[in-house]
Amino acid sequence: MNTLIVKVPKMRIGAVIGKQGQTRRELEELSDCKINVDSATGDVEITSEKANPVTFYKLETVIKAIGRGFSPEHARYLLDDNVTLNIINLHDLGIHTEKTLETRRARIIGSEGTIRKFLEDSLDCYISIQGRTVAIIGEVIRIRIAHEAIMRLLKGANVASVKKFIDSSSKNLDYVSNTESNYIDYDDNNTNEEKDILDD
């Protein structure tokens, strides 16, 4: 039997379970896995005897995405072979104080969410900003552009220059071969840092 445990912020446990357990049941049916949730610790245990190994680990990514603030509907796209999850840890960029975190998050969100919406619409992706992380769901090649655009915003680039970068990069999307596997930008070995992130 394959078993793994995903740490999820306690405030997101309800999203993993869903109303009357609906989200959990749907994920179990889609993956042929069993999901057990410990609401007290935030541990989500995934077990399977017959699931495809690829699907098994994709479900781990789906649970992590829900934990980082995505709706289950958006997180389920990660079961697609062409869709992946990218997580930017703002602490890794030297952004630590709450005031600075708030300022940097605002640069990505924009007034009434206009900048985030522009990024999502332009690159056909989903972006979640929660606590100390910025997470992106989308096709690998589009996530690369979204990641770079977000990094530029975090470093203080103005919106006009970022839009120009996206427009220029998007023109080349049809000519780029996407051959990479799904990836997640986090370090599973850094348990202390992960615990800090999951506290948000």
Residue that wins the pLDDT comparison between 22 and 171: 22
Q: Does 182 have pLDDT greater than 70? A: no
Is there a common fold for 2-79 and 83-175?
yes
pTM for the complete prediction? 0.85
Q: Can you give the residue ranges of every domain in the chain?
A: 2-79, 83-175
Q: How confident is the model at residue 196 (pLDDT cuts 50, 70, 90)?
A: very low
User: Looking at domain 83-175, which of 3.30.930.10, 3.30.1370.10, 3.90.1010.20, 2.60.40.10 is its CATH number?
Assistant: 3.30.1370.10
In CATH terms, the superfamily for domain 2-79 is: K Homology domain, type 1 (3.30.1370.10)
pLDDT tens-digit readout, 158-180: 999 999 999 999 887 755 544 34
Q: Does 194 have pLDDT greater than 70? A: no
Query: pLDDT at position 155, please?
Result: 94
* DSSP-derived secondary structure for the chain: -EEEEEE--GGGHHHHH-GGGHHHHHHHHHHT-EEEEETTTTEEEEEESSS-HHHHHHHHHHHHHHHTT--HHHHGGGGSTTEEEEEEEGGGGT--SHHHHHHHHHHHH-GGGHHHHHHHHHHT-EEEEETTEEEEEEEHHHHHHHHHHHHHHHTT--HHHHHHHHHHHHTTGGGS---PPP---S-TT-HHHHHHHHT-
Under 8 Å between Cβ of 123 and 137: no
